[in-house]
Structure 1
């Protein structure tokens, strides 16, 4: 039996939720893992821990020293400025750069059919480094735009910077889900409080927390470049989510109401189509699960 060579892998951020699951998979595979963050949380045993603010290019270079990596997995690249720093720092220092992106890059698309990666070509996205990306409120309100422009900065580097941007569907599952989105529904089902949804409520694509960790691990070992969608098969509606939750809360009641004009709707309800086509990834050899099969366990 021929053993595969252990890789040197850097994970930027990613100490919680699917990031920590990715790190566990890398360690289990025998990879040498380095985690870089600002020091607010310690990584698991068995990794090298580097502390730096990724927004400070000099500090990032100092923390890395002469290290090189087979793969960099960047879990916390949110803006084109961060991408520009990463591109300068890691060009020539890594054989592969994997950026965790998001389904939110498709926020301006509205197609009844699932959207493919071609719907948002990073090379066609204009970049504005002068926008107030350091303002948390601005960044929160422009999350999808920040990711789009970050992808654009990486894509513009060309072949000298082999990168892929994993556009992640909405993630569900795990007792450590910190987002509170499923809890929003569970609380209202327990009390019978109405759940606000758009008048026309569209389905969306999802992925289990363990599956996205698996997918990122798989992607780290591939050589394709450019954007790739990561989503389980089977779009889900708000009704699907609430039905699965209600099955675990037999005394609860699901009550929907149409949101008023300008009102914020519940977190997994969408006034437009929000599905991703995962055929590029499947064509490259990845086998996704079906969301309807893992949903009951995820909400349990």
Structure 2
């Protein structure tokens, strides 16, 4: 990954550096975050990783220990450092966005926030949703909500991301991008356990709880979202952008792909879908469509793969069945 001479000249003029791009990643120690860092370092970028110190960052990076929820801690850790791009992998609340906006004002030429498809949780449409379906400038922000309560944050994940985007949009201190990431699949380090949920029930022939009308969703492979974020780091566009592979997948298609890698093949698929009106649903089963339109990203120059083509690989990786 390289930058053009114009961008390099601007970087030298503003930061007094040469052609090496300075990238800061907040979080990023696991799953697609660590893959992103690997891509950046392989491209010759100098990568600074900020986390609370509970785990070491990938090799070849500069490590800063700070609590991103503590403004003074973050300021102290950063010192006088400045960056070409900041990639925020762990901004979940408007409070965190407020702190980041203040701390990185004047420190970065561009800011990339990893957001989510969940910002569209109120957009009940059978059509693939475009970025303009949720305009962060119109989203009200409530900093007094109990954002520090893990249970509240878990049940208000989409709202937290939506309000975090709104903070950046209301008073942007730097050019920024919010990457609205589809549901991520694949890798032998998928910590979510969502595909395992289905695999366990298929093996046992147990019922799988889904809504009466179970909608499909768009997905993206763990390697593809790492590619996408690395690409975004090198671009100049701003604002929200959807990141999703082509095509939607249903719960049934996920389960059918799983059976190919379980003992007994398709004969193992004894589980039945049980429609429920109330109660906890199985992961990746939705009462509304979570399909995103990826046209903006493709027009900007990124080419996505097709979900149905990489799904068998993703399932094999997650179940540890890769040859």
TM-score by length of 1: 0.97
Contact 1:21/1:213, CA 8 A, preserved across alignment: yes
> Is 1:172–2:185 an aligned residue pair?
yes
- Counterpart position of 1:35: 49
1:206 maps to 219
- CA drift of 1:268 comes to 0.6
Distance 2:224 2:57 in 1: 21
Partner residue in 1 for 2:176: 163
* 1:51-62 equivalent positions in 2, closer than 5 A: 51-62=65-76
Shift of 1:3: 8.2
Q: Is the 8 A contact 1:191 1:253 kept in 2?
A: no
Describe the shift of the 1:3–1:231 C-alpha distance in structure 2 as closer, same or farther (beyond 3 A).
closer
Which string of whole-angstrom CA distances, capped at 9 and with x for unpartnered residues, describes residues 214-261 of structure 1? Answer: 000000111111100000001000011000001111421242233332
Deviates more, 1:252-261 or 1:180-189: 252-261
Q: How does 1:15-164 map to 2 (within 5 A)?
A: 15-158=29-172, 160-164=173-177
The alpha-carbon distance between structure 1 residues 232 and 222, as it changes in their structure 2 partners (threshold 3 A), is same
Deviations 1:9-44 (A, max 9, x none): 000001000000000000000000000000011011
Partners in 2 of 1:15 and 1:65 — Cα distance?
A: 22
Q: How many residues align?
A: 298
Structure 2 residue runs without a partner (length 5+):
5-18, 317-323
Aligned residues: CA RMSD: 1.2
- Structure 2 counterpart of 1:289: 305
Distance (Å, rounded) in 2 between the aligned partners of 1:20 and 1:254: 37
Conserved 8 A contact 2:210-2:276: no
Cα distance in 2, alignment partners of residues 188 and 223 from structure 1: 45
Query: For 2:279, which of 224, 245, 263 is the aligned residue?
Result: 263
The separation in 2 between residues aligned to 1:134 and 1:35, in whole angstroms, is 23
Counterparts of 1:270-281 in structure 2 under 5 Å? 270-281=286-297
* Residue aligned with 1:248, SS: coil
SS at match of 2:260: helix
Unaligned runs of 5+ in 1: none
- Asked whether the equivalents of residues 233 and 289 of structure 1 are also in contact (C-alpha less than 8 Å), the reply is yes
Q: Which of the numbers 228, 245, 267 marks the counterpart of 1:215? A: 228
What TM-score do you get using the length of structure 2 for normalisation? 0.90
> Which residue of 168, 193, 201 corresponds with 2:206?
193
Q: CA deviation at 1:151?
A: 0.2
Q: After TM superposition, which residue ranges in structure 1, 4 or more long, deviate above 4 angstroms?
A: none
